[in-house]
Amino acid sequence: MRPKPSVYRAVVLLAIVLLAVGVSLSGASMHVDELGQLAFGLTVVVTAALAGGHLAARIGQPPVLGEILAGVLLGNLPGLGGLHSITADPHVDMVARVGMLLLLFEVGVELSVADLFAVGASSLLVAVLGTSASLAIGTTATMFLMPAVPFAAAVFIGAAITATSVGITARVLRDMRASRSKEAKLILGAAILDDVLALVVLSAVSAWATSGSTAAVSSATTIAALLMKTVGFLVLAISLGVAMTPAWFRLGAQLRTSGALLSLGLCLCFFLSWAASAIGLAALVGAFTAGLVLEDSHSELFVRRGERPLGELLQPMTSFLVPVFFVLVGFRMNLAALMRPELLTFALLLTAAAILGKLACAGGVLSRGVNRLTVAFGMMPRGEVTLVFAAMGTTLRVDELPLLDDRGYAALVTVVILTTLATPPALEWSLLRRGKLD
């Protein structure tokens, strides 16, 4: 039963008077502790993510694009300078980093080791060609357009544009009712391998760039060691994970603790993240690997007793934490710097290099009756992994300076935005041209 309006107004007025008098008498200052600052920062960021994701979905774009653009607006609109302290808050940043780990873990959970072996030779060739060409063209374009950038930073930027966004590609194909086509199966198979290859490149390039040797030729041994370490970690973690996790989850199913399945999954994610970091690799590689070794069968015993599968249990966490990461990515983008002619030119040409790198995928199509251009367009969008590269690049240090400066960061975010916007019309044109839409 609701109170009468007059009583309600009287109660509110009395509360305001009591609050004002109490604050005045206690002499309390407006100091907010760290927990309060974190709470305020998350309120702003999560609200922006909800609004941006909703508006993007309304116009047929992936919510992640709206979340990034919401962050760009928060960080660049006049009059909102007081909010910039949010991006400098180390606690908000750590929440975003946890979101980044869970994002890669969730991507891995949605895949499986069987998926990697199920892709055909054509998907493997498409992934390898797209990754190699994007790395080479992106690095060359960065060195040519920004000659003052260190070689390590140029390689890092080239590596950042190697990964196709599995989520964006799958969403576009589903919306176009073309997810059962031969092209779609080839694209999604290649995109799975693309993510793995990109994370191998990420780990190797990050470790090499910060090893203190930034010369182009001097560290052949270092690069070989890093690649062996990365591949060795992936193979060992996947092999042991596939062999040991079924028993681990069977043992966990005997626990009568609420949320045991989610806790077991997160423990594996965080342990492998630590293990990867401990040997000098990116923690993200461990999180992705943890998700990759987990199958639906791990959840069966828990599902039988009425619990939800691990993927569903993760959704409330990722739907809250992952948008925090995406909004902060946009928040930290300096739009004024991007508007400088030379930087805008670099961002646009880097986007062109990213598109050109994936057009090379067409050469990997071996199957007959498959439209090569459709496959190339399907591999074009960049998303989660590129944004992870961008965020990591600003935290890595080479000679006490960030590996990725404002220019490189803004250019990578621009690549994500523009390739995401360009993919749906390009795919639709290609599929309609070939009469492949259902």
Q: Is the pLDDT of residue 217 over 60?
A: no
Tokens describing residue 233: 């970690």
pLDDT tens, position by position, 300-340: 888 887 788 888 888 888 888 888 888 888 888 877 777 78
End-to-end CA distance of the chain: 54
Q: In the structure, what pLDDT confidence band is assigned to residue 2 with cuts at 50, 70 and 90?
A: low
Q: Is residue 22 part of a domain?
A: no
Q: Is the pLDDT of residue 214 over 70?
A: no
Q: Give the domain extent around 376.
A: 39-434
pLDDT tens, position by position, 381-417: 887 778 878 888 887 777 777 788 888 888 888 888 8
Q: Is residue 346 part of a domain?
A: yes
Q: Is residue 8 part of a domain?
A: no
- The C-alpha atoms of residue 362 and residue 122 are separated, in whole angstroms, by 10
Q: Is residue 430 part of a domain?
A: yes
Q: In the structure, what pLDDT confidence band is assigned to residue 115 with cuts at 50, 70 and 90?
A: low
Q: Is residue 178 part of a domain?
A: yes
**pLDDT for position 394:** 82
Residue 379 backbone phi and psi in degrees, to 5? -90, 0
Do 108 and 292 form a contact (C-beta atoms < 8 A)? yes
Burial of 204 (0-12, 13-18, 19+ CB in 10 A): buried
What CATH number has the domain bearing residue 358?
Answer: 1.20.1530.20
**pLDDT for position 272:** 92
pLDDT tens, position by position, 139-188: 999 998 888 888 888 888 888 888 887 666 666 666 666 666 777 777 77
Q: Is residue 11 part of a domain?
A: no
Q: Which residues contact 197 (CB under 8 A, 6 or more apart)?
A: 127, 128, 131, 162, 163
- The C-alpha atoms of residue 302 and residue 306 are separated, in whole angstroms, by 7
The mean predicted confidence, pLDDT, of the chain is 80
Q: Is residue 27 part of a domain?
A: no
Q: Is residue 31 part of a domain?
A: no
- Number of domains the chain is built from: 1
Interval 366-378 mean pLDDT:
81
% of the chain with per-residue pLDDT over 70:
87
pLDDT tens, position by position, 224-260: 776 777 778 888 888 888 888 888 888 888 887 778 8
**pLDDT for position 270:** 94
